[in-house]
Amino acid sequence: MLGLVFLIVILFAFYLFYKTKYIRSNRPVEKKWLSAKSNIALGLFVLMFGINTIFLSTSTASYIVAAIFIIYGVLFSWVGFKKYKHYHRFAIEEAEMLEAEK
């Protein structure tokens, strides 16, 4: 239980970290890549929050809310991972191109 809370806090910190890097970046492809990374962190945060909700309460309403959180978290992480894989090579090419210009 305490491990889930620790993981939730860490995942939220990763989300904030990647969103901050997204705001500070000037490269368009890198922004999309960082947005995908923050989507993964946010999805995992919501997923862990849903799992934690199952352990906190045993009412039917909390199970329904936890199921919604878990489904939403899995989908958000999956979409973020697909975006991450797609933009990763383009972000590398963009970084190499900018290094070659210097």
Spatial separation of the C-alpha atoms in residues 57 and 65, rounded to whole Å: 11
Q: pLDDT tens for residues 7-51?
A: 999 999 999 999 999 999 999 999 999 999 999 999 999 999 999
Spatial separation of the C-alpha atoms in residues 39 and 18, rounded to whole Å: 9
Instruction: Let me know the angle formed at the C-alpha of 72 by 5 and 19, rounded to the nearest 5 degrees.
Output: 65
DSSP code per residue over 34-96: HHHHHHHHHHHHHHHHHHHHHHH--SHHHHHHHHHHHHHHHHHHHHHHHHHHHHHHHHHHHHH
- pTM of the predicted protein model: 0.88
What pLDDT sits at residue 1?
Answer: 75
